[in-house]
Amino acid sequence: MKFHKEGYTSLAIVILFVFIINALADYYDAPASLKWFLYILSALLVVTILQFFRSPIKRIVPDEGTVLCPADGKIVVIEETEETEYFKDKRLQISIFMSPINVHVNRNPISGVVSYFKYHPGKFLVAWHPKSSTDNERTTVVVKNSAGTEVLFRQIAGAMARRIVWYLKEKDQVKQGEEFGFIKFGSRVDVFLPVGTQVHVNIGDKVVGGKTVIASF
């Protein structure tokens, strides 16, 4: 387990805040009960940041025939739908909701070449809202594997998430299971697969990014 690089700024802000409030409490000789409350609050804030930005170390063996889950969380959507941005036809959509307590590292579901990437500014509807896939701030990534199959996956900001981070661009060669981005404080990732792809998860399943096989070709 390691601390993710996206959390350094947040951790520094929290530590500075904790230092200031405790220094003020000492300077003004606050009652012991208030000091203990501030100590406990300080510890909780630091632990919260440490757990949110935790980044498990994973050893992944790529498999061309499978689609790995791109994020930790819960399966909230499995349905055939019209994908209107890139494919403009019917696709199988699988969506993963990430709560604030989940690991928020996003991982490539397949290996291949990035054939399309676009960032969309937008709203901050709750991540499970039906229109969050099309109205919220989001990124869209399409990766084509060696067999020519394309998979689209989309980072979607939620009501709390105000920063989407990505580490790839068009024509990049990516590896299954490696990090492609990070979303802060609750969010969602959608995956769009060819219709007829075999699905290995169900609605409500808890899944692990880079570990759970959500589908196979």
**Residues forming the active site:** 187
Cβ neighbours for 165, distance < 8 A, ≥ 6 positions apart: 6, 181, 182, 183, 184
Contact (Cβ atoms closer than 8 angstroms) between residue 96 and residue 207: yes
List residues bridging with 91 in a β-sheet: 81
